[in-house]
Amino acid sequence: MKQWIIFTDLDGTLLDSENYAFTSALPALRSLSDLNIPLILCSSKTRTEIEFYREQIGNSHPFISENGGGIFIPKGYFGFMVEIPHHTIQVEDQYEVIVLGAVYSEIRKAVAALRHEGFPIKGFGDMSTEAVAGLTGLSSREAAMAKERHFDEPFIFEGEEADIPQLLAAILSKGFRYTQGAFYHILGDSDKGKALTILEDLYRKAFGEIVTIGLGDSPNDIPMLERVDYPVIVQKPSGEYDHRIHIPNLMKTEGAGPEGWNNAILSLVQKIQRE
C-alpha cells in the first residue's frame, strides 16, 4: 500500500498571508491526522517559528526550516538510524538535525559587504524586533522568533527596482544564492527541494512506495513543487497565482491561503481514499 506524504509551505499557503491564521484549513488538517498522513512543514521560517505552529496544529513530524537550510527529525521517528551520505547528523535532545544551509554569520558578512558596495539592503539581522514586527505583521513574540536565524537571511532592498538584477548578481558573485518568498532571501547551496529529497528517501526506506504532494505559493517553493508527484500552487489573496511558477501538471487551488489549501487537500484526500 502506498504511503502518502505531504510537504507544505506556511506563509500564504497553510497560513493566511495577513494574520497568519490557519482556521480555514482545520477540516483538512483533521483528515490528514485521521488518515495518518505525514504533514511536513517546509518553510522559510526559522526552527522556533515552525515549532510554534507545529504545537498549534498538533504536528509531530519532521520539518524543514529556512528554505531547506535545516531538516529536523524527531529522535526515533523513523525507527532506524538516520544516515545521509556526505552530511553530518547533529543529535540534539529532541531532534536529529541535518544541516544543508550556509553558516548564518557568513551570510551576515555578505550582507555587510553588499551594503559597503553601495547596495541599500537591510536584513532581519539589521532590524529590531519591533521593526520586523512592523514589516511583517507578526506579533513581537513571533518577530523575535523570526530573527533567530541559522541558515538564511530575509532582506529588503531600499534602492531602485532597476538595480535589483545587479544586486542579485553581486550575491551570486559572493558564493551565495537568493530566492524569494514574501521577501528576498540570501542563502547557501540549499533549497526546499534538496531537503525534501532527503526526507523522501528516508520515508521510502521506512514505508516502501510513497506518493508525495507539495503545496506552495512563491518562487522559493519551486524546487519543492518540481520534485513532488502532485504539485499544488495556492492562490494569492488577489485571486491570482504567482506567474513565475511553471511546472507540468500543476494543480491550482480554489481559494487563497488556508482556504485554498484546505480545498486542495480535501480533494486529494478523496483520491487517496479511492486508491
At 148-171, the pLDDT tens digits run 999 999 999 999 999 999 999 999
| Residue type (1 letter), 144 | A
At residue 274, the pLDDT reads 77
- Answer whether 3-101+191-274 and 104-187 agree in fold: no
Give per-residue pLDDT as tens, 203-224: 999 999 999 999 999 999 999 9
At residue 181, the pLDDT reads 83
Between CA 36 and CA 223 the distance in angstroms is 26
Give the mean pLDDT of 5-32. Answer: 95
pLDDT of residue 270 exceeding 90, the answer is: no
Q: How many CB atoms are located within 10 Å of the residue 76 CB?
A: 9
pLDDT of residue 53 exceeding 90, the answer is: yes
Give per-residue pLDDT as tens, 172-208: 999 999 998 889 999 999 999 999 999 999 999 999 9
The three grid cell numbers given for residue 228, joined into one nine-digit string: 513532488
95: Cβ–Cβ under 8 A, 6 or more apart, which residues?
Answer: 72, 73, 74, 75
260: Cβ–Cβ under 8 A, 6 or more apart, which residues?
Answer: 234, 235, 253, 254
Give per-residue pLDDT as tens, 93-147: 899 999 999 999 999 999 999 999 999 999 999 999 999 999 999 999 999 999 9
Architecture of domain 104-187: 2-Layer Sandwich (3.30)
At residue 145, the pLDDT reads 97
Share of the chain above pLDDT 90, in %: 90
Domain boundaries along the sequence of the chain: 3-101+191-274, 104-187
86, 178, 43, 216: CA torsion to nearest 10: -110
Give per-residue pLDDT as tens, 248-266: 999 999 999 999 999 999 9
Give the mean pLDDT of 42-56. Answer: 97
At residue 264, the pLDDT reads 97
At residue 86, the pLDDT reads 84
At residue 18, the pLDDT reads 87
User: CB-based burial of residue 187 (10 Å sphere; 0-12 exposed, 13-18 middle, 19+ buried)?
Assistant: buried
pLDDT top residue among 172 and 274:
172
| DSSP H or E stretch at residue 63 | strand 63-65
pTM metric for this prediction: 0.95
Q: Does domain 3-101+191-274 have CATH number 3.40.50.720?
A: no
Give the mean pLDDT of 63-71. Answer: 97
SS3 state at 45: coil
Q: In what order do the strands lie in the sheet with 210-216?
A: 89-91, 95-99, 70-74, 63-65, 39-42, 3-8, 210-216, 230-235, 251-256
Give per-residue pLDDT as tens, 72-93: 999 999 999 898 888 888 998 8
pLDDT of residue 272 exceeding 90, the answer is: no
Mean of the per-residue pLDDT values of the chain:
95
User: Which of 2, 63, 13, 7 lies closest to 35 in space, CA to CA?
Assistant: 2
Give the mean pLDDT of 61-66. Answer: 98
Task: Tell me which residues are annotated as active site.
Answer: 9
